[in-house]
Structure 1
Amino acid sequence: MTEQTGQGGRRPANDGPKAAARNRAALVAAAREVFAEHGLDAPLSAIARRAGVGQGVLYRHFPDRTAAVAAVLEENVRQIEQAAGAGDVPFAEVLGVLTWHLTESAAFIGLLHADRAVGRSDIRAHALDLSGRVERALRGRLPAGHRLSADDLVLSVAMVSAAVTGPTRQEREDRALAAWRLLGVEVGPVRAFGGREPTG
């Protein structure tokens, strides 16, 4: 077995925790894309390939499919909570972050309908908890006098998420925005929290 060497014959530095964090972030992003394209039963090997890592790295971070799905869902919810918790982010932009996750993540759509989901009992309880977190984050930021009441907000999110269909990300986004327009609700830029532009 030979060691790989970098320029000048030196071994590349071992980034340790930094590399692990980068690999995990790449795997979560890849899982989101692969699940959106091929559903939750997509082969885990496709996630590793998309992330540019070996299957051993994938299994170190996510020992099974449930762990990979849970990681994508957790990241989606965390971003929505961060957007909702940022006092300088208008409510319309929080809805833009939510809409980005709806268009990017097939798993996230299932999460928002977890209360009536069938099958996938391995993630149902976790999904119900995450769904509650999304609801609390959105209700906590709903401006006084907004077109939607707190109860209407939850129903509206369910209606929009049900409209998010289509083979491409752009088609899903267009349908989500059309659904928000039909509800008379303003939505800010559709992007991940932190200003990243949508991919694909």
Structure 2
Amino acid sequence: MRADARRNRDLVLRAAQDAFAEEGLAVPLDRIARRAGVGPGTLYRHFPTKEALFEAVVHERLRQLVGHARESAAAADPGAAFFDFVAHLVREAAPKQDLVDALGGAGVDVRTAVSATAAELRDEVGRLLAAAQRSGAVRPDLTADDLMTLLAGVLHALRAHPAAPMDERLAVSVLCDGLAARAVR
């Protein structure tokens, strides 16, 4: 890909990330093109459908989360790294309608297109969880699938009532308190 084409693609992706995060899937592609400072033809050359653009946005967000999870795994304190990552994931995903839709299985069906990256994220989260469990910071009876389900539930709860949104910090605090080893009864 030529440098100008790559730059235009990146501009469209960034504009789409912001637009999907603010407005969800209903945002018109022409509005995304305007936000990116490119013409509609440029947008359609790179992403022939809204679904293709949405998939690319979700794929990029998941790759960023995978990278953050890998960085977290290198931390000296596995428990703190795990809880920091959980908070980061919720903080990043909660206000972004597109990622929440993908994680919750709502909206456009992008599961097949991003399934490899989503599986990679689950694997990295599983490694963080296992290390935190070995360190004694996280309850031992929790599986990675359990954790992903809980995270999806928290993300859904955070956007369930837009008129009276739940406090994100409270949701993370309650979730992390329940995940802590001391919560096992």
TM-score (norm 2): 0.73
Which structure shows the higher helix fraction? 2
State the partner residue of 2:173.
181
State the partner residue of 1:146.
137
Match among 55, 61, 85 for residue 70 of structure 1? 55
1:110-189 to 2 correspondences below 5 Å: 110-114=101-105, 117=106, 120-121=108-109, 123-142=110-129, 143-144=132-133, 145-148=136-139, 149-150=142-143, 151-165=145-159, 175-185=167-177
State the partner residue of 1:193.
none
What whole-Å deviation, never above 9, does each CA across 1:175-200 have from its counterpart, x for those lacking one?
A: 332211112359xxxxxxxxxxxxxx
Which stretches in structure 2 are left out of the alignment for 5+ residues?
Answer: 76-80, 179-185
Which stretches in structure 1 are left out of the alignment for 5+ residues?
Answer: 1-15, 187-200
- Aligned-partner residue type, residue 178 of structure 1: L
Count, aligned residues: 164
CA distance in 2: counterparts of 1:147 and 1:177, whole angstroms? 19
CA distance in 1: counterparts of 2:177 and 2:90, whole angstroms? 12
User: Cα gap change, 1:130/1:147 in structure 2, threshold over 3 Å: closer, same or farther?
Assistant: same
Contact between 1:74 and 1:130, CA under 8 Å: does it hold in 2? yes
CA distance in 1: counterparts of 2:59 and 2:95, whole angstroms? 14
CA distance in 2: counterparts of 1:163 and 1:103, whole angstroms? 9
Contact between 2:24 and 2:97, CA under 8 Å: does it hold in 1? yes
User: Cα gap change, 1:65/1:45 in structure 2, threshold over 3 Å: closer, same or farther?
Assistant: same
State the partner residue of 2:15.
30
- Aligned-partner residue type, residue 69 of structure 2: A
Match among 83, 98, 106 for residue 92 of structure 1? 83
Task: State whether structure 2 residue 53 is matched by structure 1 residue 61.
Answer: no
What whole-Å deviation, never above 9, does each CA across 1:30-53 have from its counterpart, x for those lacking one?
A: 112212222213210111111111
What whole-Å deviation, never above 9, does each CA across 1:56-94 have from its counterpart, x for those lacking one?
A: 221121111111100111011101111112243523343
User: Cα gap change, 1:100/1:26 in structure 2, threshold over 3 Å: closer, same or farther?
Assistant: farther
- Aligned-partner residue type, residue 155 of structure 1: T
- Aligned-partner residue type, residue 74 of structure 2: D
Please say which of residues 32-41 and 70-79 is displaced more in the overlay: 32-41
CA distance in 2: counterparts of 1:175 and 1:109, whole angstroms? 16
**Could you list the runs of 4 or more consecutive aligned residues of structure 1 that deviate by over 3 angstroms after TM superposition?**
127-133
Identity of aligned residues (%): 32
Aligned CA RMSD, in angstroms, stands at: 2.8
Please say which of residues 68-77 and 144-153 is displaced more in the overlay: 144-153
CA distance in 1: counterparts of 2:14 and 2:91, whole angstroms? 13
CA distance in 1: counterparts of 2:138 and 2:119, whole angstroms? 22
State the partner residue of 2:68.
83
